Structure 1
């Protein structure tokens, strides 16, 4: 998909996408050199962001997920997404039904910068410049993520630590954060331990709790996608 027109992908829409929420939660303020921020799970970020895009397409009814022969696949519906970030992935799936891992590998590599630029444009993350050895300028990430990051982390923590039943969006977000392998790095905000690890794995597998029965489609869709994100993170190239 390297020849795609990427114009407009970095322009924020009215509502943040799930991919934006995921990157914002993975943003770790003050964890980089000289108090700068870093994005956790950089090595697998492209698969996690692509999984977030697919999960949102599923929750909004733009694609359907299915399992055939043990392989997760997605097919496009007639509902065309307006957001160009989502539309690009939908266009790819609309050509023909695709394996989830195929979509992750095709869509993911060009998501990081547009998603990050949206967060910068919204004021959630700031860009700065640091000078190394008094000579070389390096672009860095700054800020604390603002109120929106704090609210997202609190919602994920409530599900993982306090046992609250998640909404569709928070359930998918928590499952994707878990699949990225970043939860231990978020220990300061979401205390890491056996109980959290078990709950996170349940969310990955679509077990969101008895109160989430009405979210069967979202749970199933997320489980299929997140399972493939986990596989991709383990076996596909991370370059």
Structure 2
């Protein structure tokens, strides 16, 4: 399961099939999550001072296929723009509609259902209710041990928590799985932020994830501003 797929399962309401928060920037989140995934697999990294690229730019370390088309397509985009800043790559990947592809994959594997309809009989709308919640239930259990019980995350869970923290979804996600008061939700958000800033991974990996989540947040902010201006 990809990080973006886990994220989508968490933020989509199992019954209504609608996101628990703003869905206008899911493509930007998908771009950031794919970059994080490629880093955890050792395919991409941030350039250092002695790498031949400008420090802080994203470079490809390994072009070997990952076995997942969505990731391999993302790696192709990164390779074509190697040496770019993280924010530029998040924006480039968002234009590939990776979130849509991830949703289609989840439907094809029987975890979600796709329900198309129209609002007022005119405006098309799509919902993604759960078809099989077993993986999501296990994932929520893992997050509960980390965000509610104070457990230490492994590297992959730490990366997912970092993305939830960057998008301010940790409290909402955990409240969707079990009743939480407003103060408990704030505590979950604070815990997620603290973990994202802590030593959940080796220094180089954590630094990379910090850069990508910051770039994702910047891309989201731009999207929200533009959406508000054109609304």
Equivalence for 2:36 = 55
Higher mean alpha-carbon deviation, 189-198 vs 135-144, is at: 135-144
* TM-score, normalised relative to structure 1: 0.77
Counting matched residue pairs gives 213
* TM-score, normalised relative to structure 2: 0.79
CA deviations over 1:42-70 (Å, ceiling 9, x no partner): 122112111110001001010012478xx
Q: SS of the residue aligned with 1:125?
A: coil
- Measure the CA separation in 2 of the matches of 1:92 and 1:136: 33
Structure 2 gaps of 5+ residues are: 50-54
- Measure the CA separation in 2 of the matches of 1:27 and 1:54: 22
- Cα offset, 1:217, TM superposition: 3.4
- Corresponding position: 1:122 with 2:109: yes
CA deviations over 1:145-168 (Å, ceiling 9, x no partner): 511111112212221111111111
Higher mean alpha-carbon deviation, 82-91 vs 116-125, is at: 82-91
CA RMSD of aligned residues (A): 2.7
Residue correspondence of structure 1 range 33-44 to structure 2 within 5 A? 36-39=16-19, 40-44=21-25
Q: SS of the residue aligned with 1:28?
A: coil
Equivalence for 1:183 = 170
Structure 1 gaps of 5+ residues are: 1-15, 31-35
Equivalence for 2:12 = 27
- Measure the CA separation in 2 of the matches of 1:233 and 1:167: 26
Asked whether the equivalents of residues 130 and 138 of structure 1 are also in contact (C-alpha less than 8 Å), the reply is yes
Q: SS of the residue aligned with 1:25?
A: helix
Name which of 45, 48, 52 aligns with 2:26: 45
Name which of 195, 200, 203 aligns with 2:195: 203
Name which of 205, 219, 225 aligns with 1:232: 219
Change (3 A) 1:145 1:220: farther
